[in-house]
Chain A
Amino acid sequence: MKGFQAQELSRVIEIDRKTCKGCDSCKAFCPTDAIEGKYGATHKIDSDKCIFCGQCLVNCPFGAPKDIVDPVDQIISKLKDKSLTVVATTAPAVRVAIGEEFGMEPGSLVTEKLYGALKQAGFKMLDTNFTADQTIMEEGMELIAKIRHYALGEPATGGHLGPLPQFTSCCPAWIRFVELYYPEVIPNLSSAKSPMMMAGSLAKTYGAKEIWKTSPDKVFVVGVMPCTAKKFEASRPEFHSAAHYWKTQGQTGEYPDIDTVLTTRDLARLFKKLNIDLKTVTEFADADNPLAQYTGAGTIFGNTGGVMEAALRTGYFVITGQELGVLEFKPVRGLEGVKTADVPLKDQKTGKEIVLKVAVAHGTKDNVRGLVEQVKAGKSPYHFIEIMNCPGGCINGGGQPINPMGTSWLDKTKAMLPWS
């Protein structure tokens, strides 16, 4: 097995040999040609090439690819252990899709029902939208330091400044894609962790000390994600930052920042096992929990262009000193494969005018390689580039409910295939 660090999950998705019809639909969606098998023969995933994005899984007409990492029962037992603080960190895209697992329409915004169901199950909340806002602060300041140096000619203060353009780093499938296929652009990746990974290290330091007032090794953090690649990300050995921090404070103990990850589908299964019905559960706003306070900029991370729009709202303010007038930054919204925009800015410190050039791409299969090749060749005109592996962004992630539109996709495809 090559291309893996020690302790990393080397397999998240497997194709069930009995269900696979060899219809090649999965190959049409796989961004790295990681699926082997001739048309009509049983297909197989090559873990060395796979980036765990799950696009095969959510697009297979027969449901053959399976997510083989199932932490539901382990988490239910942890919820029973009263000595533990079990924390759920839920991604933006979960709150507009989990309703589909309970018969609601796609896009139904069910945040308070979700909080109510999580509370009833015994979870505390550290909403990933909160750490999405924090990611904007960390990643935004990193970008601005580079812009002040490269575009405004100021000396580089503080730590090592990476090159421009800066790529976003919140999509773990994109990160593995770069590490496997374009290591030359690793320095262009933002050093900021993804919002989920920030939630893990925050929960086991600030959360344990200030909010839940418990010892860090008694905090069990569960990522609730629209994504299968987040299961791989959580297993990366370097994500033990909280344990390392506590060692410097004289506390021993070895534990990861994120203990386990549930996909949106997994969480629905957990709720049903605990016979919690999202549609009828008492709603809960968690209003006085600071770690559930998030802004409109944090919540749109789940859409393609959302991280860029959130970053522009803050970047514009920090550089110009004024709030961005119209907050809906339309040029980066929508399902266009690659979206670009020029953002004129007047630096409040020096009065200099600069034009921030940004790009957004989603769908590694068709839309990402062009931008990356441009950066690799040193010819990229952009300062900041947002990349999401899944078409549409995380709302269409590999962990989301499968085809809620009344199987229109499934029926049409099955009707077309001779042997169904």
Chain B
Amino acid sequence: TDLVQDRNKYIKMRTAGLYKDDAKAKIRQSHNNLAVADVYKKFAQNPLSHLAEELFHTKYVNRTKLV
């Protein structure tokens, strides 16, 4: 129905906005982000390192057991 079409119109426009931001970016792959590489060089050594596990990884909770 056109009701749904209308609703998706702004979703498609916002989606297009982010793809435009990607298309015009000088660097388009995460492994080529030099500033991210700096974080590892100066601080966290490498992805999945001990420090990276501590600061950038987490665990989850079985909420069916939380009463």
Contact = CB atoms under 8 A, between A and B. Distances in A.
Contacts, number: 220
A297 B22 contact: yes
Interface residues of B, number: 56
A293 interface: yes
Nearest to A411: B6
A296 B25 contact: yes
A323 to B, nearest CB: 7
Contact of A193 (B29, B36, B58, B66): B58
A106 B54 contact: no
Interface in B7-62: 7-25, 27-36, 38-40, 42-44, 47-48, 51-62
A303 B30 contact: no
A331 interface: no
Contacts of A191: 53, 57-59
A111 interface: yes
B3 A412 contact: yes
B15 A303 contact: yes
A396 B12 CA distance: 10
B34 A293 contact: yes
B35 A130 contact: yes
Give the dominant DSSP class at B's interface.
helix
Interface string A128-159: 00101111111011100100000000000011
Given A133-B30, A159-B48, A405 B10 contact: yes
Contacts of A2: 63, 66-67
A398 to B, nearest CB: 13
A2 B11 CA distance: 34
Interface string A164-206: 0000010000011011100100100101110001100110011
Nearest to B19: A300
Contact of B30 (A100, A290, A295, A395): A295
A327 B28 contact: yes
Interface in A279-306: 290-291, 293-300, 302-303, 306
A138 B55 CA distance: 11
Interface string A107-143: 1110100000000000000000010111111101110
A128 to B, nearest CB: 13
B43 to A, nearest CB: 5
Contact of B43 (A206, A241, A391): A206
17 contacts: A97-B14, A100-B10, A132-B30, A138-B57, A179-B60, A245-B55, A291-B35, A297-B22, A297-B30, A299-B18, A300-B22, A302-B18, A314-B29, A395-B15, A403-B10, A405-B9, A412-B6
Q: Which 5 A-B pairs have the closest CB atoms?
A: A96-B17, A296-B22, A296-B25, A107-B13, A296-B28
Given A299-B21, A327-B29, A412-B3, 8 more contacts: A106-B10, A109-B20, A133-B36, A206-B43, A293-B33, A299-B25, A392-B8, A396-B11
